[in-house]
Amino acid sequence: MPVFYLINTVGLYDNLIGVILPTAAFALPICTLILSGTMRDITGELYEAMAMDGASPARAFFRLVLPLSKGGISTIAVFSALQAWNGFLFPLILTQSESTRVVTLGLFNFQTQYGINIPGLLAAVTLSMVPVLLVYLFARRALVQGLMGAGGK
């Protein structure tokens, strides 16, 4: 119970930031594993070549590491977006008012309020899929490159 006491005393209860922070914290381990594996695939020769060209560490990061890690970053974005969008338990526990409810709780309330209205419920579920589908459509090319490995090996 100390976590809920902390959330309540800080003012995060019934606030969307109170839902975002735990969701991000639970996504952090898988994001670390995916990104560390992606960055380990970058060979040391590429770093040496950047150093021989006189690039600073910051320039090597922005010109070498980020472009080669685009696949891992897009994988993290898609998986984290799916986890956050499909979250049900944290929003159920940490929100109370209707103004701070998320889509999954709205679908749950729709079902309990109107009963089992199959066409209406399917339409609502289809509309709730659109943002995650857009995230995937924008990240699919980098996602495929991430599956091939760093540098397109």
3-state per-residue secondary structure call for the chain: CHHHHHHHHHCCCCCHHHHHHHHHHHHHHHHHHHHHHHHHCCCHHHHHHHHHCCCCHHHHHHHHHHHHCHHHHHHHHHHHHHHHHCCCHHHHHHCCCHHHCCHHHHHHHHHHHHCCCHHHHHHHHHHHHHHHHHHHHHHHHHHHHHHHCHHHC
Number of domains present in the structure of the chain: 1
* Residue range 112-136, pLDDT digits in tens: 777 677 788 888 888 988 988 888 8
Span 136-149, pLDDT tens digits: 888 787 777 666 65
Q: What does the pLDDT look like over 46-61, one tens digit per residue?
A: 999 999 999 999 999 9
Q: Are the C-beta atoms of residues 12 and 94 closer than 8 Å to each other?
A: yes
pLDDT at 46: 92
Answer yes or no: are the C-beta atoms of 23 and 84 closer than 8 Å.
Answer: yes
Q: What percent of the chain has pLDDT over 70?
A: 89
- Range of 86's domain? 2-152
What CATH number does residue 56 fall under? 1.10.3720.10
Query: What's the pLDDT band for 151 if we cut at 50, 70, 90?
Result: very low
Provide the whole-model pTM: 0.73
